[in-house]
Structure 1
Amino acid sequence: MSPSSVTLSGAHVRLEPLVNDHLSAIQAAANDGQLWKLFFTTVPSFEKTQQWLDTALEMQKQEKAIPFAVRSLLSGEIIGSTRYCNIDQNNKRLEIGYTWYAKRAQRSAVNTECKLLLLSHAFEVLSCNAVEFRTDWFNRASQAAIERLGAKRDGVLRNHTILPDGRVRDTVVYSILQNEWPGVKKNLQFMLNQYP
């Protein structure tokens, strides 16, 4: 397993390596629905987007993450971001996280196809043993979305993270194992076919 910058394309979206040139497009996407107002997410506000972008690129430089900009193939616009993170090459596991989409892209084929692309690459190219998802205890929509993918809840890490606003977050952890991937993949393909 040797993760590196990669572009992943489907029928609805293209996941392209996040770069500084995406700054204004990321700001516009986050502004659609003012997503930073959701206290349980990591979506950057307009003023903090450069800092968010710098952090993502620094994580990539340190080989701790591979951040992507999510581009709609229908409109050609950037509609969100996601990344591989907590990359553990020795144990062949990683996390898919920091995921958010513009309001107009939510409840569409976007998340399903993004996860299909990311999971396919993780299991079939990077040969991962497990892929993890983590979310805030209060982010019920995210928990439901992760469960719809076919991930199983591993547990809750209590008082896991101190957030910038001082709140101490409980983190809900999910995973998909390598031997579960064929069934999860079939489910994701079935879900994707339900969209026009």
Structure 2
Amino acid sequence: MSAAPAREPGEIFGPRVTLFADVLSVGLITAVVCLPLVTVPAALSTACEVLRGGQRDRPATAGRYLTVLRKRLRPGDLAAGALALAGALLLAADLALAGAGLPGARVFAVVAGAIGACAAVIGLRACARPESLTDWRPAVLGAARDVPRDPGGSALVLLALAAAVLCGWMMLPLAFLAPGPLALALTAIDVRNRGAVRGARSGP
């Protein structure tokens, strides 16, 4: 029987419960920062960075989230948010037109849905990459390469997004906590993918 994980001084419930509480607090503040909509990429990218800091024994707290966010708010973040919002609105408009009964609407809806899903996966994987803290271009390019190279991870990104949307749709208060688990999933997928890439480069 394995020994229980050691607790830090002052830690009452153990590391697993502490991580759960950290994820919820980060999710709550991420949801608040996302309210202007154009700040969604920056907010999610910051959440991933804060949760990634747990590997380096950095606290995943709301205070550290605000510290990281203040250092990285720049015009490029708002431009990325505006582009993501415009793409989401365009996709919604296209799907609405497809539902109006136009000729070829079903095929168009499938194609538009597939394009939207690919764009969402690339965008979310870009948010999880450390490069997004300083420059979105290499983050998006790296995420675009990861999509075909890591199809399992891309599928997990879609499942994580679907779970977050479903939680918010079923119970509105959960929408303010869903960004935390979503950011944790994105971070874990990115860390796993980077580990696999390093293992493949090192060889047997």
For normalisation by structure 2, the TM-score amounts to: 0.26
Instruction: Give the structure, 1 or 2, with the largest relative contact order (CA under 8 Å, sep 6 or more).
Output: 2
Q: Which has the larger radius of gyration?
A: 2
Structure (1/2) with the larger helix percentage: 2
